[in-house]
Amino acid sequence: AAIAAARHPKPKIRAKQISNLWQTVSPVSCGVSCVILYCRMADASKPKMRTIYLYVPNIIGYLRVLMNCLAFAICFSHKEIFALLYFVSFVLDGVDGWFARKLNQVSTFGAVLDMVTDRISTACLLVTLTQVYRPGLIFLSLLALDIASHWLQMYSTFLSGKASHKDVKDSSSWLFRLYYGNRKFMAFCCVSCEVIFSDLCASIDEIFVVTMLMPVFL
C-alpha cells in the first residue's frame, strides 16, 4: 500500500490555483448573497397592504349599503326607524371620508362606492316621497336635477383633466367655489337637504332640531 501510494501521489492544489478559484467564485457568490439579502430586506421593510376591498372606509361603505337597504325595506311600515337608519347612513358618509384621509386609504373604488351609494339612496328617497305626497312631480324633478347636476359636474371634471370634481378654484361660479371651498357650508347644505327629505317621509318634527344644531358641532 505504501509502495502504491508512493507511485500514485495525491495531486497537490497549488496556492495560485486556489487564489484563481477564489477570485472567480467569490464575486459571484457575494453578488448572489447580496441580491438575496436585499430582496429579504425589501420584503421585510415593505408594509403589508390590505386589499382595497377591506379598507376601513370601504367597510363603512358596505355598512351604509346594508342600512339603506333595510331602511327602504321598512320605509312604509316603520317610518321612524327608517328615518333613523337613513340619517345614520348619511352621517357615516362623512365618517368614511375622515377615515380615508386619516388612514391614508383613499381609493378610486371607495370614491365610486361612496358616490353610487349617495346617488342611489337619494334617488330611492325621492321616489319614496312620490308615493307619500301626490302629485309627486316636484320630487321627480328634484331627482332629475340631482342626477343631471352630478353627472355634468363629473363629466366636466373628466374633460378638464382634474383629479377631483371638488377642484373648483378656477370656476367662474361663486356658488360652486363657496359650496366646495367651505366644508362647513357644504356640510350644512347636505345635512339640511337630507334631513328635510327624510322628515317629509317620516314626518318627525324632532329631526329639524338636529338640522339647526348641526352647524354648532361642525
Report residue 46's pLDDT band, with 50, 70 and 90 as the boundaries. very low
- Active-site position among 96, 114, 118, 199: 118
Angle at 46 between CA 43 and CA 47, to 5 degrees: 135
CA separation, residue 83 to residues 110, 146, 189, 199, 208 (Å): 25, 20, 18, 7, 12
**Predicted local distance difference test score (pLDDT) of residue 50:** 67
Residue 66 pLDDT greater than 90, yes or no:
yes
Per the CB < 8 A criterion, the answer to whether 57 and 99 are in contact is yes
Q: What class, spelled out in words, does domain 52-217 have in CATH?
A: mainly alpha
Residue whose C-alpha cell is 334631513: 195
> Global pTM?
0.63
Dig out the grid coordinates for 59 from the structure. 367597510
Report residue 14's pLDDT band, with 50, 70 and 90 as the boundaries. low
Residue 201 pLDDT greater than 60, yes or no:
yes
| Cα 218 off chain centre by | 22
How confident is the model over 77-85, as a mean pLDDT? 86
Clarify whether 118 is annotated catalytic.
yes
Residue 13 pLDDT greater than 80, yes or no:
no
Domain borders along the chain are 14-45, 52-217
Q: CB neighbours of 191 closer than 8 A, spacing ≥ 6?
A: 90, 210, 211, 214
pLDDT digits 0-9 by tens, 157-193: 777 777 666 677 777 778 878 888 888 888 888 888 8
Strongest mean pLDDT among 61-75, 128-142, 147-161, 198-212: 61-75
144 exposure class (CB count in 10 Å sphere: 0-12, 13-18, 19+)? exposed
Report residue 208's pLDDT band, with 50, 70 and 90 as the boundaries. very low
User: Of 191, 207, 211, which is closest to residue 83 (Cα–Cα)?
Assistant: 207
User: Of 215, 216, 168, 174, which is closest to residue 191 (Cα–Cα)?
Assistant: 215
Residue type for position 161: G
User: Of 111, 112, 110, 144, which is closest to residue 126 (Cα–Cα)?
Assistant: 144
Helix (H), strand (E) at residue 122: helix 108-132
Per the CB < 8 A criterion, the answer to whether 214 and 183 are in contact is no
Q: What is the dihedral of CA 163, 166, 167, 171, to 10 degrees?
A: 130
How confident is the model over 28-37, as a mean pLDDT? 47
Percent of the chain whose pLDDT exceeds 90: 17
Report residue 59's pLDDT band, with 50, 70 and 90 as the boundaries. very high
pLDDT digits 0-9 by tens, 103-139: 999 888 888 898 889 889 989 989 988 888 877 888 8
User: Of 197, 192, 185, which is closest to residue 122 (Cα–Cα)?
Assistant: 197
